[in-house]
Each structure stands twice: as structure tokens, then as C-alpha cells.
Amino acid sequence: MKRRAHQPTASSEKLGLRFEPDVLVRDRYSDACRPNLYLQPEKMLMLSVLEDAIYCFQRFYRPANARERKLFLEAEEWIWDDRLDWPYSFVNVCQILGFDADYLRNGLLRWKEQFRPASSHKTAQRFIGSRPYRSSR
């Protein structure tokens, strides 16, 4: 018995195409997963506003003068304001840039806790405990 050579039919050719790699899918996938390095000018401005607020919050947390104190208070007020009625509010800026506003706020609170002075009772205890006791007799 003689075997006939397999002749591809139209349906088997279509089936074969289903299992071949699709080069375009890879490009679409990598474009979707790659960070958007190009930002629109409005987003660049929003990112700059956010960066400046975080910088002022951290840099002027312990202000040396009235100007620094004002910058810190303005940044702090903006960061903790929940208003949504203007495009450059903290919540809107975070949302548009893809950041979680509450996550950033919690991070800033944790950062602030590191630099909070100890309570006066503990400070006094450390101060007294570090000195040798002297009798006044």
C-alpha cells in the first residue's frame, strides 16, 4: 500500500496559522507594560507640583525662619486637603499621575514620625539618667 503525501488543505493551513507566534502581540504587550516615559506637559507640571510639595514638606519640617515655616505649612495643607473641585488638588494630581494619595500621605506621616521629638518626660528621664548623681550635702 502506497501512502499519499500529505497535501495541505485550506483548513489545515488556517489551523497552522493559529499556532504561529504573532509578532504584533508582543509589541502591543510590551507597549502596555512599559512605563510611559513621555508625559504630556500638563502631567509634567503636575509631577513638578507634587515633587515641590514633598520637597517643601521634608526640607522645611523644622524651619529656620518664617519663610520656611510658611512653605512647610502650605505644603502640609495641600497634601492633607481632600478637595476634588480643582485640577491641581493633591488627590487629583495623584490620581492623574497614577499614585495612591493615601499611600503617599502615610509615607510622609511615617517619615515625619522619625523626626518627631521625644516626649518631654522621656527627654527629661534620659537627661537625668545620663548624669551622675551628686549629693548637695
pLDDT tens for each residue of 124-136: 344 444 434 344 4
Residue 16 within any structural domain of the chain: no
Residue 105 within any structural domain of the chain: yes
State percent of the chain over pLDDT 90: 53
Residue 53 within any structural domain of the chain: yes
Alpha carbons 52 and 48: distance in angstroms, whole number:
6
Domain carrying residue 109: 39-115
Q: Can you give the pLDDT at residue 6?
A: 56
Report residue 10: phi and psi, to 5°.
-65, -40
If you average pLDDT over residues 85-112, what whole number do you get?
A: 95
Residue 13 within any structural domain of the chain: no
The total number of structural domains in the chain stands at: 1
pLDDT at 34 over 90: no
Q: At CA 61, angle to CA 45 and CA 58, rounded to 5?
A: 40
Residue 94 within any structural domain of the chain: yes
Residue 45 within any structural domain of the chain: yes
pLDDT tier at 81 (50, 70, 90 boundaries)? very high
Residue 70 within any structural domain of the chain: yes
AA letter at 77? E
pLDDT at 29 over 90: no
If you average pLDDT over residues 103-125, what whole number do you get?
A: 75
For the question of whether the overall pTM of this predicted structure is more than 0.75, the answer is no
pLDDT tier at 4 (50, 70, 90 boundaries)? low
